[in-house]
Structure formats: structure tokens, C-alpha cells
Amino acid sequence: MIEVEIKAPAGRAELTRKLSQLGAVFEKKVWQIDSYYNAPHRDFKDTDEALRLREQGSRIYMTYKGKKLDPLSKTRKEVEVEVGDRDKMEDILISLGFKKTLDVIKERQIYHYKGAEICLDRVEELGEFVEVEAIAENQKEIGAKRDEVITILRELGVRGDLIRESYLEMLLQKQQ
């Protein structure tokens, strides 16, 4: 699966109204705690990869994100699997030499519109963002999916700077 994603800073209250006007379907509101890890054999910052352990309610997911494939969006291969026990999974990672990099904590409202997932995020230490994501089945679809994502952002009235960086990258930059 290839995730085509773009985010932008945006106020949630205004976007919630706009999503309602456009007929977007609200799915749920969740808290996500994303713990990121770095490999002992290569630096994911240098290879533009990510390994994440996500806690969302009672569910736990391990996600690998490959390097970005598009210069205008955060488009990358994503492989995700649900795991049964967060603490045991973290113990496995630490035992294999992985180091915890950082936690990204956010409250997320999830909507669906025109085949895309729209997330209104409130990220601790960063603020409020809108993130629009579409799935490309192969690399040939990336350009079309990116254009769809940008069109949705424009329909939502998002006119500011579009962000290609992940929340992890943004938090690490803020710490420097």
C-alpha cells in the first residue's frame, strides 16, 4: 500500500463546519500515542524511514513507513500490523537494539470524503493540523492521488503552506 498524504496547519473548529457543509462522513474521535523507534543497523533519519508503535484505545499497531516517493507530498510505502501487547512488542524492539526516539501524542477526528481520509489533529507541542490521505495501489497512481488530496484541501479552504514532514520530523526540528 502507498499512502499519499499532505497536511497543513488549520483550525479544527472552522474545518469541522466546512466538512459538515461538504457532506464528509465523521467516523470517530481518538487519542493516539505514537512511539517511534530507530534501528541499530541504520539511522532512519538518514534513510527517510519510520518505525512506529501506535496505541489507539485498546488497539496497538506496528507500522513501517518507507522513504518518501514524491517531492510534493508525504507519499510512502506503509506496512501495518495489529499487535496484541504493546509492552511486549516494545520489549522485543528494545531487545533487538532499537532505540525509542520520541512519542507523538495527538487527539484525532477522522472523516471520510471523496474516497480520502481527512484527519483533524491536535498534536501536543505542535498545534492543530488537517491531514488528507488517499491510498495509491501502485506508483503510477501517486500523481493522480496527490492531485485529489490537494483538491480536497482547497475545497476545505486550506490556502496556507502544505506540509510534507511528519509530526515526528516537526517535533525533532522543534527540539533542535
Question: Which 3-state string (H, E, C) describes 44-55?
Answer: HHHHCCEEEEEE
How many domains is the chain partitioned into structurally? 1
Asked if pLDDT for residue 160 goes beyond 80, the answer is no
Surface-to-core class of residue 83, CB atoms within 10 Å of its CB (0-12 exposed, 13-18 middle, 19+ buried): middle
Dihedral sign (CA 107, 112, 114, 116): positive
Percent of the chain having pLDDT more than 90? 90
142 confidence band (pLDDT: 50, 70, 90)? very high
DSSP β-bridge partners for residue 106: 32, 123
DSSP state of 175: H
CATH code, 108: 2.40.320.10
Residue 113, domain extent: 2-175
Please give the Cα distance from 22 to 17 (Å, whole number).
9
159 confidence band (pLDDT: 50, 70, 90)? confident
Mean pLDDT of the chain: 95
Interval 95-113 mean pLDDT: 98
Does this model's pTM top 0.85? My answer is yes
109 and 18 in contact (C-beta within 8 Å)?
no
Please give the Cα distance from 103 to 168 (Å, whole number).
8
Out of 36, 37, 111, 167, the active site residue is 36
Asked if pLDDT for residue 147 goes beyond 80, the answer is yes
Q: How far does CA 59 lie from the centroid of its chain?
A: 17
Q: Which three cell numbers stand for residue 13?
A: 473548529
80 and 66 in contact (C-beta within 8 Å)?
no
What single string gives the DSSP state of each residue in 83-141?
Answer: ES-HHHHHHHHHHTT-EEEEEEEEEEEEEEETTEEEEEEEETTTEEEEEEEEEESSGGG
4 and 144 in contact (C-beta within 8 Å)?
no
pLDDT digits over 31-44, tens only? 999 999 999 999 99
Q: Are strands 127-136 and 116-123 parallel, antiparallel or unpaired?
A: antiparallel
Surface-to-core class of residue 161, CB atoms within 10 Å of its CB (0-12 exposed, 13-18 middle, 19+ buried): exposed
For the question of residue 37 being annotated catalytic, the response is no
